[in-house]
Structures are given as C-alpha cells and as structure tokens.
Amino acid sequence: MSDSVIKVYGALRMSVKMFLMWNSKMLIDGGGEEAVETSLLEASNLVVLRESSVIHSNANLGVHGQGLLNLSGPGDWIQAQRLVLSLFYSIHVGPGSVLRGPLENATTDSLTPKLYCENKDCPSELLHPPEDCNVNSSLSFTLQICRVEDIIIEGLVKGSVVHFHRARTIAIQSSGAISASGMGCTGGIGSGNILSNGSGSGGGHGGKGGIACYNGSCVEGGISYGNEELPCELGSGSGNDISAGSTAGGGIIVMGSSEHPLSSLSVEGSMTTDGESFERTTLKEKFPLVDSLSGGPGGGSGGSILLFLRTLALGESAILSSVGGYSSSIGGGGGGGGRIHFHWSDIPTGDVYQPIASVEGSILSGGGEGRDQGGAGEDGTVTGKDCPKGLYGTFCEECPAGTYKNVIGSDRALCHHCPADELPLRAIYISVRGGVAEAPCPFKCISDRYHMPHCYTALEELIYTFGGPWLFGLLLIGLLILLALVLSVARMKFVGVDELPGPAPTQHGSQIDHSFPFLESLNEVLETNRAEESQSHVHRMYFMGPNTFGKPWHLPHTPPEQVKEIVYEGPFNTFVDEINSIATYQWWEGAMYSILSVLAYPLAWSWQHWRRRLKLQRLREFVRSEYDHACLRSCRSRALYEGIKVAATSDLMLAYVDFFLGGDEKRTDLPPRLHQRFPVSLPFGGDGSYMAPFSLHSDNIVTSLMSQSVPPTTWYRMVAGLNAQLRLVCRGRLRVTLHPVLRWLESYANPALKIYGVRVDLAWFQATACGYCHYGLVVDALEEDSDPASAVSIDGAIRTEESRANSIYKEDSLGHLREPLISQSHRSSENLMRRKRTYGGIIEANNLQMLEEKRDIFYLLSFILHNTKPVGHQDLVGLVISMLLLGDFSLVLLTLLQLYSISLADVFLVLFILPLGILLPFPAGINALFSHGPRRSAGLARVHALWNLTSLINVVVAFVCGYVHYNTQSSNKIHQFQPWNISMDESEWWIFPAGLLLCKIFQSQLINWHVANLEIQDRSLYSNDVELFWQS
C-alpha cells in the first residue's frame, strides 16, 4: 500500500505474503474492550515500512512473519500497548524508526499493560518465557521480539518490559537505542517518601534512594530490593502522584533466557533503563499550581538489564546504563541506581578459553544526584554470573598472573596470590589460557638463558645436580686432587724418574754432578775432544745487537787488532757485508712479530725464537759451506773452510765469530797465550728477562783458554755459581738485582781466583749506536805490585779478599773497543759514568745507581714472572702445579658457562680477546709437564708461564663483562637473598673470575719454583757458606 491510511475498529486478523507500506498508516482501534484486544498481522515473506509509514494499535498487536521486517527510516513506527514481533528471520530497525510498547501518554484503561510494581516475586516468564511467542495479555511483557535470528537496531526500541527471546544475534548500531528509561513504576517497592512541602526522596532499587531534606527535616529514600545475582524488577518512582507530579523508575530489558541464551550482543549505541528525573518546566505545564516554594518529587530509581548471553562486545561509544534520576530543585533526593546483570552461558575454560566480553564503552549504575539539601541515591549493581575456577569478575576474565582461583565465584578477592616460596628467583608468573585453577602457579624464566624448572643457568644446573655449591666444591676439589695424582703418576711413567732428579743438595765431598751441564757451566761436556781447535784459536769476535727484528746482529767492518795478521782487510770487509746482510731480517718477519705481540705474546716469542734459530743456521751454513774464506791469509784454512766458525749462546741473543790458525802461518807468537790476551771480555748471553736470563757462556774454547791460569774445576764452579746468581737479575730492576752479583763476585769468585793471579769484574759494553748494552765479565790478571794473597787456601776456597788492581787497556777481545775501558783508580766513578757511553765500563757498587735502564710495559709483569731460587720438593711442586692446572681449566670452563648464561657475545669476547688465550695455558702446561729432559721441560714451562700470564687479559675481560651485566641488571631487579646462589645475575658474579685470577697468580709462582728446580739441581750454588760452596 502507498500513500494510504487504513483504519481498523476492533481486532485485526490479516495474513499476506508480503506487506509493503509506503507513506501509509494502519490505525487499529480496539475500542477499549478486552474481547477484541489482540490484533495479528502475518506475512509469509516481507514486512517493509518506508517513508514514515506507521502501524499503530491502542491494544495488543502481534506481527508475525518468516522473512524480513524492515523499518527503513525516519517516521517508520510500529507501536501498541503490548507489541510482539516473532518468527522473522531478521528484523532491521532503521535510523529514526521506532518500535514501542506501551504507547506514549496512553490513558489508563483495561488494555494498558499492568506492571508488577508491588510484586516482590519475579515473574517466571522473564526467566523462563513460553515457547509459542503468542500475544498473551497475562504476561508481563510490553514489547517482545521472539524467535528472530538476527536483529539490527539503528533506531529506537522502547518499552516498559522489553524482552528478546530465542534470538541469535543482536547488534545495536551507534544511532540505535533500546530504552526502558522512565518506563517503570511511579510507586513500587522502593518508592520514595514525601516531606510536608512536597519534596520527595529518591526511589530505591539496586541502591537506596537519596534522602529528601527541607528546613532541617529529612526523610529516608526508598529501600534497596531485588536480587543482584538475577535481577528482574522494575525501578521504583518517587511515590507522589498528587502534589507536584511524580517520577517513574526505569523499566526492564531482558535478552535471552537461561535455556536459550543470546549468541552474541554487539552494542555501539545505548541500552538504558534509567530512572526518570524531575523536570520543573514540564511540571509547570502539567500542574500550574507548582511554584518556587513548593517541593517536587525525588528521582526514580534505575531499572534492570538482564542479559543471558554467550559473548558481548561494547564499542567505545556504547552505553549500558541503569542510573537513578535527578531530584527536584528543593531538597529532593536522587534515585538509587538500578541493576545490570550478565548471565553468561557456556563459559569456556582451560585450553579452549576465549574472552567472552570486549568492553570499551561505559556501563553505568550510579545513583542520581540530589538537589539543594537532598542526598544522592546510592549506586546500583553491575554483576555477572559466578565464574568457573581460574576466572573472575563481571566478565569472567582470567585471574591476573601470579594468582589462582580454585572456587566458583566472581569476586576479585577469590584470586589468591600464589605462594611466594614456589617462585624461583629468576622467574615471573605468566598468564595461561583459562586462568590458573590450582597452585602451583605457572611461571617462566625471565630469559631464555635460564632453564626450567628452577630457572638455573647451565652452570647452576651443573652445581645443583651435584648437591649444591658446598658439595659441588668439595667434589670438584677431590676430583682435581685425584686427577692430579693420576697425572703425576702418568708423568713419572712417561717422562721417567731418572729425568726428574730430586732437589736435595750435593753432600759435602761428593763429586760434581754434570748431568745438568748447561746449568753448571754451559759446557756440553767436561772434557773435550777438540783440544786442537782450542790450541789454534786466535780471537773471538762478538756480534753487536740483541738479534731482534729491529736490532739484528751485525759485525763491525774494521778487523780487530788480534786478527789483522791473519786476514786481508778488503776481503774481510766483504765478508762482514755478507754476514750482516744475512743477519738482517725481512720486513714481514718483524710485521708478523708485531701482529702476534698484540694478539698472543707467547706466539710472538715462539715466532721470534724460531726465526732466530733459522738465522743462526743460515749464518753457520754460509760460513761452513758457502763462503770461500777469502779473507784468511792461510791457504790451508781457505782450502779446508776451517779458519772461521760462527756460534751463539743457547738463548740465541749473543753470537760470535771464532778465528783459527790454519797451521801454515809459521808464526811462533800465534796463538797468543792467556796472559797476552788480558783483559778478556766475556759478555753475558740473554737480556735479563724471564725468558732469557743473563748467563755466562763458557764453551770448550773459553774453558781451555782459562785453564792456562785457572784449573777447569774451579772455573766450572765459578761459572755455575755466577750463572745461578745471574738468573735472579731482572731487567728493569738492574740497580737492585745486580747488587747480589757484585757481592758474590767479591765474596766468592775473586778470593778463589786470586791465588791464580786472575780477577773478574762486572762490566757493561755499549756495542751499538742505538744504545743497547751488553753486560758481562772482564777477566784480567792481577798486578805484580798488588799485595800478595795472605789467606789460607783449603780446597780452593779463599778466606780473605784482596784489594782491587786497576788496569788499563786499549782494546779487548771484542775487537771494537779502542779506548781505555777501565779508568785509573784515582778517577772517580762519577766521571767514569759521565763519559760518552760508547764503549763501556766497570760496574762497581758505588756507580751501580748511575746505570741507565729503560723500563717497558713488561716491567710490572716481572713482579709476577721472575726467576727464583730453587725450593726443592720437586715432586710436590709438580703435584700442586698439576692440581692448579686442572683447577685453572675447570674454572675456565665454569667461567665460560657462567658467561654463556649472560650472553653468547660475552663468551666470544672472553675467548677472542686475546684469541683463545684463556684456553691455551692448559695444553701448554700439559706439554711442559710431559716433556722429556729438564732443559726442554724448563723451556716449555717458561712458555706455559707466558700463556698463563697472557690469559689474565681474558680474565679481565670476563670481569668487565660480568660487571657491566650486573650493573645493568641490578637497577631493573630486586634481588632476593639466597645463600650461595652462584649466578652472574647476583652479587657473586665475580667469584669464578676472581678464583681464576688467584689460581693463575699461584700458578705463576709455582712455575717459577718449578723452573728453578729444573735448572738448578745443586742447591749449594746458593749457599751462604763460602767453604760449602767450593767444597761441593
């Protein structure tokens, strides 16, 4: 129908396939008779109202269909005193459209729905509605939508008792509203009370109504009533229908039922059951007698919103409201808040839990405000169905992390805090789907580097697997002792007992043990089968320079005076050029040394030693095989390649060239005797460092030469004692450590040599222009006018010391000293040391402090690594070193495991700054312990000491990593005290690095003793008794 008006008097019964209205009206007048109170409109397909179409009935109206009911837009209305819409597939209430029941401003007659305002019992049809969806005037509904799948509301749905039954989804758009505000009772169970001036208190429902006060007289508001767990009551009004109007409470909106809950409710608009507020301007129109001095009613209480549903979505603009109304301006009380209840159905729990509500809008149940002296109404209630275990609150959310709920209920207090003693130190509680129903509560470690269930690091898991820190420490110590014993036994089996001599000193009167000739006298054998070589020796010419990559060996071009008679000067200079060229290192050798010095100094030292050894081999091969000896005058020497030989000390720092007669010179004055060679310079090998201590090299030639004045046994003993003293001299501390050497020469050596007319003095030789100094001995004959020895000789031991005899010479056996080396005694030592230091001088106690010595970065390390006196107990020292070596390796692994719990980057930093420096001391130590021969063992032990010292840099890096991590984490965490909780996250992060540092320092000292025990078998070399020294 279009642009039409249909008026029906009585009851309408209409059944059509489709019912379409265009700007049309259908007005049904029941006439006020109960017999014709219900009209029915049935459509098997569509019911569409457009362009302000209206269906109006002043009686009951039922609209049934099987398709779509569509109120398209503004002005489209369906209203009746009691309205029932049912059986549609979908209902769409467009913007501006209205569904209403009962009618607005309807007169009270037999057809007006009777509200159950005075009934304290909830009507059963609200909770258990009938299934037939027929219009029934005996039911309390004023507007019911029944058996409709989907309902979309963009307009207004309003009624006193609004009920949605057996619907699937309801969507209230932002322009839509479902309202029962002011549609409740004007009286009711919680109605307000009236003062004498007509001011009324607020109606009560979910909360008490506000009090009304005027001129000091007050009256209580309406009472609170109903069941907050399942509210189904109408709101109460002011209770005043006579003096100055009245206010009504809110109605009731029910969606779904316990048997047929709503699948989903989506709200972007509003759903309200607010109490009515007093409006004076309206009352003046209705009641002209009202003036400014008379009072008015209080506010009506909020109604009820009861929702049986599975899921809820409230948008940001959504409002669910059941608030109390405002009171009159003169002393009236505000209405109490209503009740809103969410009765959830089929709440998922456990692993299948999904949030049932998304709430971003507002849910209001507050009391209305009072005016003037009137009080505000109390707040109403917002409740939800009791939640299962693990869930809480109105919307059955998961209990917060760290709490559990093992009872049914919605109160937040039911979520109990998890026991604190069940949470590991480095763990946090986590939320799980469906909440936590029972203790213990689930947790996770704060980082992936910690491992469940105790959130231990890998290191702590290892420690607590073996019973905790104390027991683990005891087990580790016991294991280290056992492994050290096994290692010592294996070492004795592998190396051999005969190669590990005991530390006991030689007994008085026993023969000298020459099983350590390189320590006793640096000879290879006591007797030599090369006597003829010693007899033909003319002169020994020493190389200048320390044989480093920056300062290689080199020879001076001018031949010494001693060899000028046996060489040609021109070919000699050519020979020197070739020798110096071979002795010079390539640039890449020095570059490799510099790189290795930065990365790993022990490798740099090994590289330098290897290149030195190759350089010496190359020099010897050149002189022995390649050079034609053209500089020699002897034809026999040139033919046999035997006139010149190159050799060096074992440390490869001091090299020399020996010149020999060829046998065809026909010279009776050659070779010169010892007294003709005085003074003789004997430079020390080494440089006073830990790896190359000073030592006097006395081979068979020197020994044979000195035997012309001093018996070989005396000379051997003197050299052995001097080398024992020179071991203790430390570069960088020469002024202090050379004092004992000077005292020993004056107390032990010179008194014994005096009876043979020989004296030795400590001297320095500045052999290069760059300032490098050689130190050594000057051997000279005593002057004839010196006071003869007046001491008694017992087996070569001298009891008194003769005064020093000064001598002057212009050239010594080095071949390059051309000015007096030793000044007259009347020259002061100060003048001697102030001379241009080109050649050298005698070192005495009074000029020792004037020595100029350069200190480098290794000076401080000399306090850790230095040569010491032997302590004996070689087996015990070796056992302790084995224990510390195993302990060192264990602490390294524990430290790396500890750093791994922080970050893998920290492990890489410790391992590769310096590269693998923290791991290599262990294999270096094992190699030293299981090497054959004391000489090789001592050398490898020194290399082990270097690796051990170098690894301190890696330990410092471990300290830095631990410190940085601890300080960055400590500000973010509250640490609980747990005794012996070893972790990089705790204050004990430094324990393993500190233990490793101490272990390495102890190892260094024990290695020093171990090397001394290997190199010094005869401990009487350090005897304080002169007689015992010479008699051993």
Angle at 327 between CA 325 and CA 330, to 5 degrees: 175
For residue 139, the model assigns a pLDDT of: 83
For residue 848, the model assigns a pLDDT of: 86
The DSSP element (H or E) to which 588 belongs, if any, is helix 587-599
The pLDDT tens digits of the residues spanning 509-549 come to: 333 443 343 443 333 433 434 456 678 889 999 999 899 99
Which residues sit opposite 77 in a β-bridge?
54, 98
The pLDDT tens digits of the residues spanning 332-382 come to: 889 999 999 999 998 888 888 888 999 999 999 999 988 878 889 999 999
Span 989-1006, average pLDDT: 91
Mean predicted lDDT score pLDDT of the chain: 83
% of the chain residues with pLDDT over 70: 85
Span between the terminal Cα atoms of the chain, in Å: 142
Cβ(406)–Cβ(438) under 8 Å? yes
Helix (H, G, I), strand (E, B) or coil at 15: strand
Q: Which range (539-543, 747-751, 934-938, 999-1003) has the least confidence?
A: 934-938
Cis peptide before 453 (omega within 30 of 0): yes
Whole-angstrom distance, CA of residue 778 vs CA of residue 789: 21
Q: Is the pLDDT of residue 930 over 60?
A: yes
Residue type, 33: E
Whole-angstrom distance, CA of residue 216 vs CA of residue 260: 53
Q: Which range (16-25, 368-377, 576-585, 767-776) has the least confidence?
A: 767-776
The pLDDT tens digits of the residues spanning 689-724 come to: 999 999 999 888 999 999 999 999 999 999 999 999
For residue 464, the model assigns a pLDDT of: 86
Cβ(455)–Cβ(425) under 8 Å? yes
% of the chain residues with pLDDT over 90: 47
Helix (H, G, I), strand (E, B) or coil at 986: coil
For residue 241, the model assigns a pLDDT of: 57
Query: Could you say which DSSP state residue 367 is in?
Result: P
- What are the tokens at 162? 């609004």
Pair type for strands 252-255 and 161-165: parallel
Q: Which range (324-333, 535-544, 601-610) has the least confidence?
A: 324-333
Whole-angstrom distance, CA of residue 212 vs CA of residue 196: 11
- Other Cβ atoms less than 10 A from the Cβ of 570: the count is 10
Q: Is the pLDDT of residue 652 over 90?
A: yes
For residue 750, CA distances in Å to 519, 665, 753, 1028 come to 21, 37, 5, 16
- Other Cβ atoms less than 10 A from the Cβ of 932: the count is 11
Q: Is the pLDDT of residue 307 over 90?
A: yes
The HSE-up count of residue 725 (CA atoms within 13 Å, CB side) is 26
Q: Which residue pairs from 91-94 have beta carbons closer than 8 angstroms and sit at least 24 positions apart in sequence? A: 91/145, 91/148, 91/150, 91/151, 91/152, 92/68, 92/152, 92/154, 93/151, 93/152, 93/153, 93/154, 93/155, 93/156, 93/157, 93/176, 94/70, 94/154, 94/155
Q: Is the pLDDT of residue 292 over 60?
A: no
For residue 768, the model assigns a pLDDT of: 59
- Other Cβ atoms less than 10 A from the Cβ of 131: the count is 12
Cβ(1008)–Cβ(871) under 8 Å? no
Residue 632 confidence class, pLDDT cut points 50, 70, 90: very high
Span 449-478, average pLDDT: 86
Q: Higher-confidence residue: 290 or 376?
A: 376
Domain boundaries, the chain: 1-100, 149-385, 386-446, 473-503+870-1032, 536-672, 676-859
Q: Higher-confidence residue: 968 or 1027?
A: 1027
Span 25-47, average pLDDT: 83
The pLDDT tens digits of the residues spanning 955-980 come to: 999 999 888 887 887 655 544 444 44
Whole-angstrom distance, CA of residue 917 vs CA of residue 739: 37
The pLDDT tens digits of the residues spanning 487-496 come to: 888 887 777 6
For residue 970, the model assigns a pLDDT of: 62
Cβ(159)–Cβ(143) under 8 Å? yes
Q: Higher-confidence residue: 226 or 447?
A: 226
Q: Which range (380-394, 813-827, 843-857) has the least confidence?
A: 813-827
Question: What's 43-87 look like in SS3?
Answer: ECCEEEEECCCEEEECCEEEEEECCEEEECCCCCEEECCEEEEEC
Residue 655 confidence class, pLDDT cut points 50, 70, 90: very high
The pLDDT tens digits of the residues spanning 802-844 come to: 233 333 333 343 333 333 333 333 333 333 333 333 357 899 9
For residue 301, the model assigns a pLDDT of: 94
- What are the tokens at 1? 């129908």
Which residues of 461-607 form beta strands (DSSP E)?
Answer: 537-542
For residue 472, CA distances in Å to 287, 480, 980 come to 95, 12, 12
Cis peptide before 440 (omega within 30 of 0): yes
Cβ(734)–Cβ(688) under 8 Å? yes
Summary count for the chain: helices (H), strands (E): 23, 44
Give the residue from 690, 643, 630 showing the smallest Cα distance to 1007: 690
Span 315-333, average pLDDT: 89
Whole-model pTM?
Answer: 0.65
Alpha carbon 533 to its chain's center: 70
Helix (H, G, I), strand (E, B) or coil at 616: helix
| b/e burial code for range 466-492 (CB count within 10 A of at least 16 → b) | eeebeebeeebeeebeebbeebbeebe
- Other Cβ atoms less than 10 A from the Cβ of 867: the count is 23
- What are the tokens at 848? 């020792």
For residue 910, CA distances in Å to 41, 447, 724, 951, 958 come to 88, 21, 39, 10, 6
Pair type for strands 695-696 and 77-79: unpaired
Give the residue from 640, 718, 644 showing the smallest Cα distance to 682: 718
For residue 898, the model assigns a pLDDT of: 85
Whole-angstrom distance, CA of residue 839 vs CA of residue 821: 7
For residue 785, the model assigns a pLDDT of: 46
Span 887-901, average pLDDT: 89
